[in-house]
Amino acid sequence: MGSSSVNINNFRLIVTGGGTGGHTYPALTAVRTLHSRLAAAGGALDVLWVGQPDSLESRVAAGEGIEFTTVATGKIRRSSNPLKMMSPANVRDMSRVPLGVVQARLVINRFRPDVVLATGGYVAVPVGVAATRLCRTPLVIHEQTVRLGLANKALAGAATRIAVSSESTLELLPESVRGAAVVTGNPVRPEVFSGQADKAITALGLQGFDRRLPTVYVTGGAQGAQQINECVREVLPWLLAHANVVHQCGPSHLDQLRQATASLPGELSGRYYLTAYVGAELPDVLALADVVISRSGAGTLAELTALGKAAVFVPLATSAGNEQAHNARHLADSGAAVALLDGVSPELLRDVVSPLLTEPARRTAMAERARSHGRPDAAERLVDVVLAAAGQG
């Protein structure tokens, strides 16, 4: 069947994936983009999200008014030792997957989707298996990171299309599935592109900032990152002599950092803004930032490359499959970022940040190389893939 078989008047989508923001928010952005695309053509979208109970994806779906249901799933605990992979906990959880597949088959038969979109996480496995093996429903999987995650690896062989975020992922795919792969990029929330630097100054009360100096945005994600916080604290007087700093440190680190930085001299303290969390003003903070110091999760990379930002990445060493290090190395290899892959110290951080602050041309060149890796239209490209796959059902 060609793409003319797609019924835009009542397009039905099951989306599955979650467990982390890296799997959940690209799915949400894709759903919103598909909804807008269909609405503009006079069509309508029915969505069912299949996820885990009491999870980030369940809260996101509820906030969006998306119908939500759950199936049994098993978490696979990674180990470099194959024998440890067969731990009692893994064996017990793997035994839940067949139950999840049976439940997912019932869900798919009831909802009758035109296509299933899976964005990773353990819950995607039973839904993807049921879609391809039992219900003959087109399956699109989307991978946010450079290397396929465990769930997508399990589903790749049966997927109608494999949407990947980076050209460098293609050569890492088994040859047997490369023909199904398409590079879309990682969907970035549209509001990220709407930031205005002046609005950040006003909203956060950054009147002490010296706009002749570059601004550094330090972030460790919603919870903050103690490793990054401690290094920044150690070099802060030096850093503030060269830059303004917005430091998002996470709620559990706020009081300690507030005490540690209370004795900064007046001029320097005026250029330092400390906060537990950056919410709706994030696009404006990103617009203001000239250099970003952060973890290297897939969502962060997608946003910073789409915006074209010079960045120093401190990968989370315990990320699944060491994916943050792979993400960061991919950009660092082409001069699109600095990646501290072997740990970080205050001295090392100062050494790599210094030229980005004191040499504007170097900072600009890195930002331009980062932008060349960005795919601001990733959500639209992924929607193209979903609609095309539905036409092949």
* Three-state secondary structure call for residue 33: helix
How many other CB atoms are found less than 10 A from the CB of residue 119?
A: 30
Q: Mark the ranges of the chain whose per-residue pLDDT is less than 50.
A: 1-4, 77, 85, 393
Q: How far apart are CA 369 and CA 315, in angstroms?
A: 20
Q: 166 and 65 in one domain?
A: yes
Contacts of 163 (CB under 8 A, 6+ apart): 140, 141, 142, 143, 181, 182, 183, 184, 381, 382, 385
β-pair type (272-275, 215-219): unpaired
Q: How far apart are CA 345 and CA 186, in angstroms?
A: 31
Q: How far apart are CA 189 and CA 283, in angstroms?
A: 10
Q: 142 and 75 in one domain?
A: yes
Element housing 163 (H / E): strand 161-164
Structural domain tally of the chain? 2
Tokens of 241: 């002599």
- CA-nearest of 248, 246, 244 to 214 is 244
Q: 266 and 127 in one domain?
A: no
Are 211 and 287 in contact, with CB atoms under 8 Å apart? no
Span 26-75, pLDDT tens digits: 999 999 999 999 999 999 999 999 999 999 999 999 999 999 999 998 76
Per DSSP, 133 falls in state I
Are 130 and 111 in contact, with CB atoms under 8 Å apart? no
Q: 194 and 184 in one domain?
A: no
pLDDT of residue 86: 53
Greatest CA span in the chain, whole angstroms?
70
CA distances, 193 to each of 33, 204, 302, 305 (Å): 15, 19, 12, 12
Q: 179 and 118 in one domain?
A: yes
- CATH, residue 345: 3.40.50.2000
Q: 225 and 91 in one domain?
A: no
- CA-nearest of 49, 43, 45 to 66 is 49
Q: 317 and 250 in one domain?
A: yes
Q: 183 and 196 in one domain?
A: no
* Three-state secondary structure call for residue 24: helix
- Burial environment of residue 267 by CB neighbours within 10 A (0 to 12, 13 to 18, 19 or more): exposed
Q: 227 and 170 in one domain?
A: no
pLDDT of residue 7: 77
Tokens of 124: 């995607």
Contacts of 179 (CB under 8 A, 6+ apart): none
Contacts of 76 (CB under 8 A, 6+ apart): 85, 90, 93, 94, 122, 150
pLDDT of residue 156: 96
Q: 157 and 255 in one domain?
A: no
Q: 134 and 202 in one domain?
A: no
Q: At what angle do helices 21-40 and 378-390 cross, to 10 degrees?
A: 70
pLDDT of residue 84: 56
Q: Evaluate the CA torsion angle 186, 22, 168, 195 in order and state its sign.
A: positive
Are 298 and 145 in contact, with CB atoms under 8 Å apart? yes
Q: How far apart are CA 163 and CA 64, in angstroms?
A: 24
Q: How far apart are CA 362 and CA 355, in angstroms?
A: 7
How many other CB atoms are found less than 10 A from the CB of residue 251?
A: 12
Structural domain for 22, as ranges: 3-188+376-390
Are 118 and 98 in contact, with CB atoms under 8 Å apart? no
Instruction: State pTM to two decimals.
Output: 0.87
Q: 172 and 27 in one domain?
A: yes
Q: How far apart are CA 276 and CA 204, in angstroms?
A: 13
Instruction: Outline where 41-133 has alpha helix (H).
Output: 56-64, 82-85, 88-94, 96-111, 124-129
